[in-house]
């Protein structure tokens, strides 16, 4: 029998709060975090707004914060979220052998990486001037990713700092699968525990791309909303008038633990992670398969892995980006797998309020899903005003809903065609 895996701790740093409680309360209230970009002067950009983390101070979370003064926000966010998760799990302080405790982090290019690329590709330009050579910037990035190991390590330092700060001596890994990265990290960490490679894994993601190159790059891809006259209503998943996603930033970490380990410690078990599906669209780098081909298999595989039927799922936390292609493809995917039950199960998008945290999106949404499961309250999809005939499910529009359920599905579909679906379940003995 494969080993069961439970969640014993969670921590987040998001634009809607610096704790799980703050994040979930904001979601239930239907409060948006979207506003004008303050990280740089974006007035000349096609998109001038984002979902930014505000009021964050690493020293409030890490006693020796000065040690990380030269690190980027990806690392800072991850350290704070990791400390919260380990503290809730009762694993913050080093106790004996920690060689069975590891780290798996989904991340991406940090603010410093983008600033370096911008300076090398648009030397002499002023912030806000849209003259960055995107092809050259991407080429430089690929060189770094395929270059010497010490250069690659620069991209993955947040996970290394997590391991060092919290004395996690077990398996150590990172992934960079764009918008699916943190969900993949959680799924792969789940497998490590199931197969006995580790007993405890700190898993999730951290990311910030709110930089001139990040914004201009997504604008060139026509992926971002340009609703500059009304930024708070710009993220509108499944609405007929949606015109792109709203970029955000943040981090989320979960403590995944083998069940018998958690029971032996007397840990408070928040939920059980029961299903994981991972597929590739094999279609295009920036567009999902129009019929939801990869999404269908990821969802179906996650249900099979969990030993559940579609009718067992009581809530779906959708990837729900607010792009035309994603929302339509995800809806098709849910209907293909769920059949008639698709019209009975509530589906909502956390991104309607939170924005898209890119590599940290999946874990933040799984944290919301776990909290919804425990509280019996499903956050809404805000800004859903004009129904799209292609998107005809119950998206919990505008207002939160009290619903008791035992199993939930969380979807993350990333650039490059990476599809991850996770099933989380109420823990029962």
Which of 225, 247, 265 terminates a domain? The answer is 265
Q: Read off the CATH number of the domain in which 75 is found.
A: 3.40.47.10
Per-residue pLDDT at 292: 81
- Provide the annotated active-site residues: 179, 319, 356
Per-residue pLDDT at 281: 85
Q: Per-residue pLDDT tens for 131-147?
A: 445 544 554 444 444 44
Rounded-to-integer distance, Cα 137 and Cα 168, Å: 35
Shared domain check, 237 and 301: no
Shared domain check, 287 and 180: no
Per-residue pLDDT at 35: 97
Per-residue pLDDT at 416: 75
300 lies in a domain? yes
Work out whether strand 34-36 and strand 271-280 pair parallel, antiparallel, or are unpaired: unpaired
Which of 265, 298, 318 terminates a domain? The answer is 265
Q: Is 3 exposed, middle or buried (0-12, 13-18, 19+ CB in 10 A)?
A: middle
Per-residue pLDDT at 331: 97
Shared domain check, 115 and 94: yes
For the chain, helix, strand, coil in percent to 5 are 40, 20, 40
Q: Which domain holds residue 310?
A: 274-418
What pTM was estimated for this model as a whole? 0.91
Per-residue pLDDT at 320: 97
Q: What is the distance, to the nearest Å, from the Cα of residue 227 to the centroid of all Cα atoms in its chain? A: 23
Counted domains in the chain: 2
138 lies in a domain? yes
Q: Are 319 and 366 in contact (CB under 8 A)?
A: no
Per-residue pLDDT at 120: 46
Segments in the chain below pLDDT 50: 120-132, 135-136, 139-155
Q: What is the distance, to the nearest Å, from the Cα of residue 294 to the centroid of all Cα atoms in its chain? A: 18
Closest CA to 353 of 370, 365, 369: 365
Shared domain check, 241 and 340: no
């Amino acid at each position: 029998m494969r080993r069961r895996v439970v969640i014993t701790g969670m921590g987040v740093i998001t634009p809607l709060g610096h704790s799980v409680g703050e994040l979930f309360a904001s979601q239930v209230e239907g409060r948006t975090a979207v506003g004008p970009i303050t990280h740089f002067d974006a007035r000349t950009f096609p998109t001038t707004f984002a979902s930014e983390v505000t009021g964050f101070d690493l020293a409030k979370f890490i006693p020796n914060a000065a040690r990380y003064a030269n690190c980027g926000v990806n690392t800072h966010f991850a350290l704070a979220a990791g400390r919260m998760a380990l503290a809730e799990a009762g694993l913050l302080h080093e106790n004996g052998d920690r060689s069975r405790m590891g780290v798996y982090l989904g991340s991406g290019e940090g603010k410093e990486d983008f600033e370096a690329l911008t300076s090398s590709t648009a030397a002499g330009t002023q912030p806000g001037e849209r003259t960055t050579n995107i092809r050259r910037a991407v080429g430089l990035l690929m060189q770094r990713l395929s270059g010497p190991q010490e250069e690659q390590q620069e991209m993955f330092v947040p996970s290394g700092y997590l391991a060092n700060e919290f004395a996690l001596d077990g398996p150590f890994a990172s992934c960079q699968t764009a918008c699916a990265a943190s969900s993949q990290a959680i799924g792969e960490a789940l497998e490590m525990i199931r197969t006995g490679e580790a007993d405890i894994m700190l898993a999730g993601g951290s990311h910030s791309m709110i930089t001139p190159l990040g914004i201009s790059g997504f604008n060139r891809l026509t992926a971002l909303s340009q609703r500059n006259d009304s930024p708070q209503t710009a993220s509108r998943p499944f609405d007929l008038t949606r015109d792109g996603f709203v970029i955000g930033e943040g981090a989320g970490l979960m403590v995944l633990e083998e069940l018998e380990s958690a029971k032996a410690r007397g840990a408070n078990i928040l939920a059980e992670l029961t299903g994981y599906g991972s597929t590739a669209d094999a279609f295009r780098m920036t567009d999902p398969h129009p019929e939801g081909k990869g999404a269908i298999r990821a969802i179906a595989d996650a249900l099979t892995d969990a030993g559940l039927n579609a009718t067992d799922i009581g809530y779906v936390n959708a990837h729900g980006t607010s792009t035309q292609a994603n929302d339509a493809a995800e809806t098709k995917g849910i209907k293909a797998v769920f059949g008639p039950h698709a019209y009975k199960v509530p589906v909502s998008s956390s991104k309607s309020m939170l924005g898209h945290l890119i590599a940290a999106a999946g874990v933040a949404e799984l944290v919301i899903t776990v909290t919804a499961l425990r509280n019996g309250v499903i956050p809404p999809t805000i800004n859903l005003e004009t129904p799209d005939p292609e998107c005809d499910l119950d998206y919990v529009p505008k207002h939160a809903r009290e619903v008791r359920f035992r199993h939930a599905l969380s979807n993350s579909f990333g650039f490059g065609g990476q599809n991850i679906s996770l099933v989380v379940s109420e823990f029962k003995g």
